[in-house]
């Protein structure tokens, strides 16, 4: 692993210029979006995109999302059918990624799509991300800025904790507002497939389209290559749906009935607050568990509606049995 001195850049004109210069030179700079921090690189530069996979220790079959300033820029890289147009016009900028046919002449590195004929595109709704993408002008490939399989970062400090010395810089835009990755949708053959629950609740999408979306069970597996089961994993084991504090573990609460919880995602049961807190609280509890030699994090039940679907999806993956190879890579 190449060793960098990872710079901390500020959200000011000098920080923006340095970020864009590093991107133009093929460098890796982590930057904030409204969902989570992304590890960004020039999506048209093969070496830069390869460096993302290397820095994250990410299995190379997992394709990346490209980030652009607006719909017009997105149309240089992907083909928008009517459904895609409606969704982009309604929800961009915002926490929605669209998986669309890639335009062969767009110049994207083949590594971005990891061999697929589609590319995932989004326009982030974060003032600093917008300034950076506008200044850069093209497409930035960016997975979440964490080592593959680890908890996603919602602050610049989280990025540093995972990727220090592996990347050129991180630019600090404060804590992410949404706190969960984007919802991923793929319009195809007259259907709209929901590939990943995320920061944009499903009912907003179906309301905009006037019809339901197809979800995982109806969606052929190869359409959603990134759905590795063990993901977002803290070092401690995660137990779901726990209504009381375990004897030998930490308890992450949700709602009013969680007296004695070590942390509470939202004491008044607000799913938006819970989503924004989720990854930050998992980072904190995992650090506490490591410091106190505790092996379990129990999580209170979370309603499976709206953003709760995405929160439970992330927690279920955190709770899933680990892929030992992934863990060897992470702990190297
Ligand atoms: O909110 C987000 O989406 C964040 C921020 C940084 O934008 N990014 C993010 O990226 O979560 P990442 O790489 O951690 O997750 C990307 C997901 C993966 O599950 C991947 O498989 C899926 O997007 N994906 C990317 N391109 C795809 C494609 N062509 N077809 C199907 N799935 C795709
Ligand atoms: Mg990720």
CATH of the domain at 286: 3.40.50.11030
With contact defined as beta carbons under 8 Å apart, do 162 and 58 qualify?
no
Do 211 and 244 reside in the same domain of the chain? no
User: Comparing C-alpha atoms, which of 95, 89, 146 is closest to residue 122?
Assistant: 95
**What is the model's pLDDT at position 329?**
39
Work out which ligand 1 atom sits closest to the CA atom of 102: 29
Task: For residues 112 and 201, state if they share a domain.
Answer: yes
Written as six digits, the tokens of 226 are 């990134």
In angstroms, the CA 266 to CA 29 distance is 32
Tokens standing for residue 269: 């049961």
Work out the pLDDT band at 111, boundaries 50, 70, 90: confident
* Domain count within the chain: 2
My answer on whether 176 and 94 are in the same domain is yes
The residue segments making up the domain with residue 275 are 237-330
Residue 267 confidence (pLDDT): 97
* Pocket probe mutation, ligand 1, options 38, 100, 122, 143, max atoms within 8 Å of Cβ: 143
The larger pLDDT score, comparing residue 252 to residue 322, is at: 252
Q: Does ligand 1 come within 6 angstroms of the Cβ of 162?
A: no
Is the pLDDT at 311 greater than 50, yes or no? yes
- Is 210 among the domain residues? yes
Average pLDDT on 33-42 reads: 98
Would residue 84 count as lying in a domain?
yes
Q: What is the mean pLDDT of residues 279-287?
A: 92
Determine which of 10-14, 115-119, 199-203, 323-327 has the lowest per-residue pLDDT on average: 323-327
The predicted structure's pLDDT at residue 233: 78
Domain boundary among 152, 180, 215: 215
Confidence of residue 231 (pLDDT cuts 50, 70, 90): low
- Which of 181, 227, 231, 314 for a ligand 1 pocket mutation test, highest count of atoms within 8 Å of Cβ? 181
Residue 324 banded pLDDT, cuts 50, 70, 90: very low
The predicted model scores a pTM of 0.87
Specify the long-range contacts of residues 102-107, CB closer than 8 Å, at least 24 apart.
Answer: 102/77, 102/78, 103/76, 103/77, 103/78, 103/79, 106/76, 106/77, 106/78, 107/44, 107/77
Residues 66 and 201 in one domain: yes
Do residue 187 and residue 116 come from a single domain?
A: yes
Ligand 1 neighbour 114 (Cβ under 6 A): no
In a domain, 222, yes or no: no
Of the listed ligands, the closest to the CA of 233 is 2
Are 255 and 324 in a shared domain? yes
**Which CATH number is 198's domain given?**
3.90.870.10
Q: How many helices (H) and strands (E) does the chain have?
A: 11, 14
Mean of the per-residue pLDDT values for the chain? 90
Strand order in the sheet with 96-101: 7-10, 169-172, 29-32, 37-42, 140-141, 65-67, 118-122, 96-101, 183-188, 191-196
Mean of pLDDT values over 73-82: 98
Strand partners, 171: 9
pLDDT at 217 over 70: no
Q: Decide if 273 contacts 266 (C-beta within 8 A).
A: yes
**Does residue 1 lie in a domain region?**
no
Nearest to 106 by CA among 68, 143, 142, 133: 68
State the ligand closest to the CA atom of 101.
1
């Amino acid at each position: 692993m190449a060793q960098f001195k990872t710079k901390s850049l500020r959200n000011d004109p000098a920080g923006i210029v340095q970020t864009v210069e590093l991107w133009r030179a093929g460098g890796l700079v982590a930057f904030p979006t409204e969902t989570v921090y992304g590890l960004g690189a020039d999506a048209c530069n093969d070496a830069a995109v390869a460096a993302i996979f290397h820095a994250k220790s990410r299995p190379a079959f997992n394709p990346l999302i490209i980030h652009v300033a607006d719909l017009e820029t997105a149309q240089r890289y992907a083909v928008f059918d009517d459904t895609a147009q409606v969704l982009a016009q309604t929800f961009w900028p915002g926490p929605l990624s669209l998986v669309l046919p890639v335009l062969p002449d767009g110049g994207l590195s083949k590594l971005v799509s990891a061999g697929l004929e589609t590319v995932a595109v989004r326009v982030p709704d974060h003032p600093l991300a917008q300034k950076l993408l506008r200044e850069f002008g093209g497409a930035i490939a960016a997975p979440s800025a964490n080592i593959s399989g680890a908890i996603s970062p919602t602050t610049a400090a989280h990025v540093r904790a995972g990727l220090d010395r592996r990347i050129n810089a991180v630019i600090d835009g404060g804590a992410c507002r949404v706190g969960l990755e984007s919802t991923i949708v793929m319009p195809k053959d007259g259907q709209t497939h929901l590939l990943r629950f995320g920061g944009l609740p499903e009912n907003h999408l179906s309301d905009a389209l006037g019809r339901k979306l197809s979800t995982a069970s109806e969606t052929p597996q190869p359409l959603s290559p990134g759905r590795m089961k063990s993901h977002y994993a803290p070092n401690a084991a995660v137990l779901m749906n726990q209504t009381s504090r375990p004897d030998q573990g930490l308890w992450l609460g949700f709602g009013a009935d969680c007296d004695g919880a070590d942390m509470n995602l939202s004491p008044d049961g607000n799913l938006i607050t819970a989503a924004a807190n989720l990854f930050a609280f998992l980072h904190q509890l995992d650090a506490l568990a490591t410091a106190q030699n505790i092996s379990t994090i129990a999580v209170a039940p979370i309603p499976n509606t709206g953003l709760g679907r995405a929160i439970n999806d992330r927690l279920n993956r955190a709770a899933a049995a680990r892929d030992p190879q992934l863990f060897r890579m992470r702990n190297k």
